[in-house]
Amino acid sequence: MQRPPIKHCRECGTPVQYRLPDDGDTRERAICSACDTVHYENPLNVVGTVPWLGDRVLLCKRNIEPRWGKWTLPAGFMELGETTAQGAARETREEAGALFELEDLFTVMSVPRVGQVHLYYRARLTSEVFDPGHETLEARLFAEHEIPWEELAFRTVRETLQRYFADRKAGRFGTHAFDIE
């Protein structure tokens, strides 16, 4: 599900045309017919965490669409002016109301069919008390055998959790980068 094409120039409001820019670019771009502004369309970054405590991870039950009522890791769109780590921490505070120490980057997933890149950090929880925000119905800890695998909201969450528990069993955590078609 790609985003809709750009229709009007963000600089002057004139309708755009999709064509090859005059600078030798090899991709069609939205180009303003009045001011010649070239508009580039880039992926959105989704940032979040795998909050853990002992052998359990924290999941949030979604109170928003898409996938209302399904379980997810705390994550959301990165904002302008923040780093990926700052965005992941902000989303974890907003969605779970969790207290934690941010750790290393854990997964980087390109999801080209929806124009997104997902980045998850590990986060060691420092408390079992959660105060979820309005986007979350419930936040709770799950051991691996308790994960509601069939009720997970997104494939990126499933893939991240599978790698987390595999690394935990192996006794070392790496960084995993892969594509989801």
Instruction: Kindly state the average pLDDT of the residues 91-115.
Output: 97
Phi and psi angles of residue 88, each rounded to the nearest 5 degrees, phi first: -60, -45
Same domain, 84 and 56: yes
Instruction: Identify the CATH number of the domain in which residue 153 sits.
Output: 3.90.79.10
| Together in a domain, 29 and 50 | no
- 93 and 171 assigned to the same domain: yes
Whole-angstrom Cα distance, residue 71 to residue 145?
15
Mean pLDDT of 91-113: 98
Domain CATH number, residue 14:
2.20.70.10
Same domain, 86 and 165: yes
Residue 90 region, left (φ>0) first, then alpha (ψ -120 to 50), else beta? alpha
Residue 171: pLDDT over 60: yes
Looking at the structure, tell me whether residues 148 and 164 fall in a common domain: yes
Residues 32 and 101 in one domain: no
**Model confidence pLDDT, tens digit, residues 127-169:** 999 999 999 999 999 999 999 999 999 999 999 999 999 999 9
Q: Is the pLDDT of residue 125 over 70?
A: yes
Kindly state whether residues 84 and 162 are assigned to the same domain: yes
- Per-residue pLDDT at 174: 97
Predicted local distance difference test score (pLDDT) of residue 24: 87
Examine the domain organization and report whether 26 and 51 are in the same domain.
Answer: no
Are 50 and 33 members of one domain? no
Q: 85 and 30 in one domain? A: no
Contact 67, 134 (CB under 8 A): no
73 and 52 in one domain? yes
- Boundaries of domain holding 62: 44-179
32-76 pLDDT tens trace: 999 999 999 999 999 999 999 999 999 999 999 999 999 999 999
State yes or no: pLDDT of 120 exceeds 90: yes
Asked whether residue 2 carries a pLDDT value surpassing 70, the answer given is no
CA distance 98 to 78: 18
Domain count, the chain: 2
**Same-domain check for residues 89 and 106:** yes
